[in-house]
Amino acid sequence: MSALLTVSDAHISYGKVEAVRSVSLEVGANQIVTIIGANGAGKTTLLNAIMGVLPMKGGVTFGGEDMSRLDIEDRVASGLSLVPEHRELFGTMSVEDNLQLGAFRIARATAARSFERVYTLFPRLKERRKQLAGTLSGGEQQMLAMGRALMGAPKLLMLDEPSLGLAPLIVADIFRTVGELRAAGVSVLLVEQNAQAALKIADHAYVMELGEFVLAGPAPEIATNQQVVASYLGFQHA
């Protein structure tokens, strides 16, 4: 089976500083892949570059198509979607408008079905559909950000720190939804600091340190790796 997303030998620099060095990764169809690592390791940078928000050297292929020359908007149109760290919602617009704009590139009929799907996945959003996005709680904003991305019926959803600043209960909810997405045929590339939770639901994992992948493998294997346990899973609780 050929991979849905392939990144090969990615280099990303801010000015003279190279934030990501020689990184390659693959996400297969119906797969959850996670990238874990400390603050400043370059995870967010990598996601942004895959989406086209930041320029990078190296190859990005998605669904067999070369993405490296395309703008963000064209990558969106080919089924790649990013829920960024800061969510980037339209704060002064209603939940419904936010979702409707998520389907900007899609035919009207498909959008109607997307609405149904998102409201089933996040019933809370349906309750709040007339409310302004900026007035939602942190957890609801994260749901809206994911919902908006899903409105475009993406083949791959990239999530940047979805658990950031959220209460444990809500985090559990979000991760459960991520699992449901895979079941619905959406692949997920998940960047998380909450390594424990991420490794639990992921099929495959990469460990990033100082802009490089230092470890890669099936998630259960990574979760029990001594080095990973020591640096990312907090304390020697095992």
Length of the chain: 238
Q: Which is nearer to other proteins, 64 or 108 (CB)?
A: 108
Q: Report the C-alpha gap between 236 and 238 in whole angstroms.
A: 6
Q: What percent of the chain is helix, strand and coil (3-state, nearest 5)?
A: 40, 25, 35
Minimum distance of other proteins from residue 24's CB (angstroms): 21
Q: Which is nearer to other proteins, 1 or 139 (CB)?
A: 139
Minimum distance of other proteins from residue 184's CB (angstroms): 20
Q: Which is nearer to other proteins, 28 or 84 (CB)?
A: 84
Q: Which is nearer to other proteins, 24 or 196 (CB)?
A: 196
Interface residues with other proteins (CB under 8 A)?
Answer: 15-17, 19, 38-41, 51, 53, 69, 71-73, 76-77, 81-82, 84, 87-93, 97, 100-102, 104-105, 148-149, 151-152, 161, 163-169, 171-172, 175, 193-194, 196-197, 200, 210, 230-231, 233-237
Q: Which is nearer to other proteins, 87 or 182 (CB)?
A: 87
Long-range Cβ contacts of 197-201 (<8 Å, 24+ apart) = 197/163, 197/171, 197/172, 198/34, 198/36, 199/34, 199/36, 199/223, 200/175, 201/32, 201/34, 201/175
Cβ atoms 215, 46 nearer than 8 A: no
State the pairing for strand pair 5-14/17-27: antiparallel
Q: What is the dihedral of CA 131, 132, 133, 139, to 10 degrees?
A: -40
Minimum distance of other proteins from residue 1's CB (angstroms): 28
Element (H or E) spanning 65, and its range? strand 65-66
Minimum distance of other proteins from residue 194's CB (angstroms): 5
Q: Which is nearer to other proteins, 175 or 206 (CB)?
A: 175
Q: What are phi and psi of 33, to 5 degrees?
A: -120, 135
Minimum distance of other proteins from residue 161's CB (angstroms): 8
Minimum distance of other proteins from residue 62's CB (angstroms): 15
